[in-house]
């Protein structure tokens, strides 16, 4: 198992290019199951989650090829059973449920796995496909869904923590081949959901209201093949922006969609970080001094939960008290105990983390608990005095394409080593 060995104290300088969005490409890959024709997806990041999803598509009978960031899928013949050993490895695999049900009128999909960041039930996914007329049961760890035909319906997908991103994508995909009109209220507005909808429309779907809380899908008889470029990963872009500020460097981030990053960039500016837009690129540096900020994670267009841990790393360096409140996932402070090993002073009070910043950090061996926590520990390690060993970085490989190579390209002293 790989770890990252980091020698701290080197500011990041240079240019980095953002990869395609992990949270968009996985449901887009699932959407290729809606047609027997060839689909070509470009800007596909080299991630372990993408590899897992490709294997899932193959196990369902699809022909899949990946080369130089381009994915080609032809799902001419399919079976409707999603393999447990593959699906259990990541939550995004639940997105095959809607396409299989729409295409084959039946599906057997294992309950998914993923990062341990709190309860993420699939009840809203099931609520949505039931509203379209599917009969759903759960047996021996599998979701069994059947429907002679899907019928459009009006449905509400809001949950306790707001709209469901994967649930919106899943139901939207199923509804493309349903009879009649489906209206999803309290739909997720994330750019990744928009990207899935745009791909579906390129396949011949009729979806309107994209990017709004009300999405309307008019069912069609069939979809055809299409080509699509995946949007840049806003979370990766934010991670590099935060890393530039934390290390007191200056990084030019190419391909960042600033229109997808308003909440993060606003908080960075509030924290004293210098953020400049230069054409299609973003230039980030620390500025004169960092200031503490209060952050509450919310569904888009609020501050993303996927950037909470990275911003905590930045606030650990900031003199004063910052309060970070998590409103999306209740167990997303598992990285706090590992930050403490580096010297951070953080207290948890209910859904909030009280960060007393400014204490010097020193390197230590730390354990990554999830994808974004891993990135935060890497940022902290690049600032800490001495060496930091970040273990279990398979989490990082799920969501960041060659992050160690990209950081080395910016001057970071970081290397991948084998755990003993």
Asked if residue 239 and residue 207 are part of one domain, the reply reads no
pLDDT at 140: 84
pLDDT at 290: 96
Asked if residue 305 and residue 251 are part of one domain, the reply reads yes
- Structural domains in the chain (count): 2
pLDDT at 113: 54
> Which of 211, 229, 247 marks a domain boundary?
229
User: Residue 36 sits in which domain range?
Assistant: 22-229
Asked if residue 152 and residue 224 are part of one domain, the reply reads yes
Q: How far is CA 359 from CA 115, 314, 327, in A?
A: 29, 12, 27
C-alpha dihedral (129, 228, 300, 314), degrees to nearest 10:
130
Which CATH number does the domain housing residue 303 bear? 3.65.10.10
Q: Which segments in the chain show pLDDT lower than 50? A: 114-120
pLDDT at 420: 65
Catalytic: which of 39, 95, 115, 189? 115
Residue 46, SS3? coil
Name 66's bridge partners. 71
Residue 39 annotated as catalytic: no
Asked if residue 220 and residue 247 are part of one domain, the reply reads no
pLDDT at 330: 75
**259 contact partners, CB below 8 Å, separation of at least 6:** none
> Which of 186, 211, 229 marks a domain boundary?
229
DSSP label at residue 146: E
Asked if residue 314 and residue 212 are part of one domain, the reply reads no
Asked if residue 199 and residue 73 are part of one domain, the reply reads yes
Asked if residue 239 and residue 348 are part of one domain, the reply reads yes
Asked if residue 269 and residue 209 are part of one domain, the reply reads no
pLDDT at 243: 98
Asked if residue 137 and residue 37 are part of one domain, the reply reads yes
Query: pTM of the entire structure?
Result: 0.95
Count of C-beta atoms within a 10 Å radius of residue 354: 13
């Amino acid at each position: 198992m790989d770890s990252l060995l980091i020698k701290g104290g080197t500011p990041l300088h240079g240019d980095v290019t953002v990869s395609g969005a992990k949270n968009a490409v996985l449901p887009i890959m699932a959407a290729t199951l809606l047609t027997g024709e060839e689909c070509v997806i470009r800007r596909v990041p080299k991630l372990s989650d993408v590899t897992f999803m490709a294997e899932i598509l193959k196990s369902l009978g699809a022909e899949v090829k990946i080369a130089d960031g381009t994915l080609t899928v032809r799902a001419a013949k399919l079976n409707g059973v999603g393999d447990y050993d593959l699906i259990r490895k990541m939550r995004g695999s639940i997105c095959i449920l809607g396409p299989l049900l729409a295409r084959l009128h039946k599906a057997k999909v294992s309950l998914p796995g993923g990062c341990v960041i709190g309860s993420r039930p699939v009840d809203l996914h099931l609520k949505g496909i039931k509203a379209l007329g599917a009969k759903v049961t759960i047996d021996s760890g599998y979701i069994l869904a059947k429907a002679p035909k899907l019928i459009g319906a009006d449905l509400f997908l809001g949950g306790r923590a707001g709209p469901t991103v994967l649930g919106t994508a899943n139901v939207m995909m199923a509804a493309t081949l349903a009879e009649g009109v489906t209206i999803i209220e309290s739909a997720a507005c994330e750019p990744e959901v928009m990207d899935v909808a745009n791909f579906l429309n390129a396949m011949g779907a009729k979806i309107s209201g994209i990017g709004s809380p009300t999405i309307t899908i008019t069912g069609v008889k069939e979809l055809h093949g299409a080509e699509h470029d995946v949007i840049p990963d806003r979370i990766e872009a934010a991670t590099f922006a935060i890393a530039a500020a934390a290390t007191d460097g200056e990084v030019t981030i190419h391909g960042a969609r600033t229109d997808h990053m308003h909440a993060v960039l606003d908080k960075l500016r509030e924290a004293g970080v210098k953020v400049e837009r230069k054409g299609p690129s973003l230039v980030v540096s620390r500025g004169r001094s960092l200031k503490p900020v209060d952050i509450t994670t919310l569904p888009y267009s609020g501050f993303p939960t996927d950037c909470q841990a990275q911003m905590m790393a930045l606030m650990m360096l900031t003199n004063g008290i910052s309060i970070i409140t998590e409103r999306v996932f209740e167990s997303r402070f598992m990285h706090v105990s590992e930050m403490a090993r580096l010297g951070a002073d953080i207290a948890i009070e209910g859904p909030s983390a009280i960060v007393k910043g400014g204490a010097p950090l020193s390197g230590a061996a730390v354990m990554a608990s999830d994808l974004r926590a891993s990135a935060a520990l890497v940022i902290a390690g690049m600032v800490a005095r001495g060496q930091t060993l970040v273990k279990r970085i398979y989490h990082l490989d799920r969501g960041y394409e060659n992050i160690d190579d990209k950081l080395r390209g910016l001057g970071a002293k970081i290397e991948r080593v084998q755990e003993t």
